[in-house]
């Protein structure tokens, strides 16, 4: 279980995250939404241990964490196979076992024959799937997705959402997804947190969020200028 309590992060005089509280059990997906600059990616990096110096607590129970970067986070100088194998290289596994795991992971995301290609030879959607394959080989208990469908068309976005659900079903991992994509959120979320200027202005079930009974949720979903969210406020 992931437990975040009273999480507050300040950079200089600016409050980036303020008093975040939530728990996430294995096999559940939390979708974090909000306008640009609301603190979504910062929250993921804090949970991953990439950002420190915060107040409050972040307890992941020493779980192994996989981070799926917004742009894939692939190494341009090595091929797809070696990109996916990278987290396994210091694991002590025999090379034939690494090959078996990586091949299976690439096949599971529909890239069985792409191992010898380089990232520059792949479309944006394929690069995203390589990032998912790399998360899979880590056998992680927690997977953090940073805007996994950014820049993709609706069909590819839907395919990525299906893969995320498939990964959750097969691994039982807890997932946190930072996204603006309402269709993806509806498809993968068990619960939703909506951030505004670093504060959680909505936290509840996906069904409650998409019912639009909450004024913050309604404005965000409908994209209205008028409402409790100041669209011009950083």
What the chain holds in terms of domains, given with CATH numbers, is: 1-64+142-204 (3.40.50.300), 74-139 (no CATH)
> What are φ and ψ of residue 25, in 5° steps?
-90, 160
pLDDT at 174: 96
Single pTM value for the model: 0.91
pLDDT at 73 over 80: no
Coil vs helix vs strand at 39: coil
Residue 230 has pLDDT above 80, yes or no: yes
Q: What is the mean pLDDT of residues 133-156?
A: 90
Q: Which residues contact 97 (CB under 8 A, 6 or more apart)?
A: none
Nearest C-alpha neighbor of 143 from the set 112, 95, 197, 188: 188
What are the tens digits of pLDDT across the range 27-58?
A: 999 999 999 888 999 999 999 999 999 999 99
Q: What's the rounded mean pLDDT across residues 103-119?
A: 92
State the average pLDDT over residues 158-169.
92
Bigger pLDDT: 87 vs 91: 87
Q: Find the length of the chain.
A: 234
Res 146: pLDDT: 93
Q: What is the mean pLDDT of residues 143-163?
A: 91
Q: Higher model confidence: residue 36 or residue 4?
A: 4
pLDDT range class, residue 72, cuts 50, 70, 90: low
Rounded to the nearest 10 degrees, what angle do helices 95-108 and 124-137 cross at? 130
Is residue 90 predicted with pLDDT exceeding 90? Answer: no
Mean pLDDT of 198-227: 96
Buried b (16+ CB within 10 A) or exposed e, 26-53: bebbbbbbbbeebbbbbbbbbbbeebee
């Amino acid at each position: 279980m992931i437990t975040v309590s009273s999480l507050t992060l300040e950079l200089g005089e600016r409050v980036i995250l303020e008093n975040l509280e939530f728990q996430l059990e294995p096999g559940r997906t939390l979708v974090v939404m909000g306008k640009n600059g609301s603190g979504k990616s910062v929250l993921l990096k804090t949970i991953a241990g990439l950002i420190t110096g915060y107040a409050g607590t972040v307890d992941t129970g020493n779980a192994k964490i996989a981070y799926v970067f917004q742009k894939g986070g692939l190494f341009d100088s090595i091929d797809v196979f070696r990109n996916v194998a990278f987290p396994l290289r210091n694991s002590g596994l025999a090379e034939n076992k690494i090959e078996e795991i990586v091949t299976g992971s690439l096949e599971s995301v529909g890239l069985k024959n792409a191992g010898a290609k380089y990232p520059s030879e792949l479309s944006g959607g394929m690069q995203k799937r390589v990032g998912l394959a790399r998360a899979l080989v880590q056998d992680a208990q927690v997977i953090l997705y940073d805007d996994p469908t950014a820049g993709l068309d609706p069909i590819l976005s839907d395919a990525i959402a299906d893969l995320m659900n498939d990964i959750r079903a097969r691994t039982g991992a807890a997932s946190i997804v930072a996204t603006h994509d309402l269709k993806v959120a509806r498809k993968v979320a068990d619960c939703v947190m909506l951030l505004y200027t670093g504060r959680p202005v909505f936290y509840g079930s996906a069904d409650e969020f998409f019912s639009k009974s909450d004024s913050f949720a309604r404005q965000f979903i409908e994209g209205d200028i008028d409402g409790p969210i100041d669209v011009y406020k950083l």
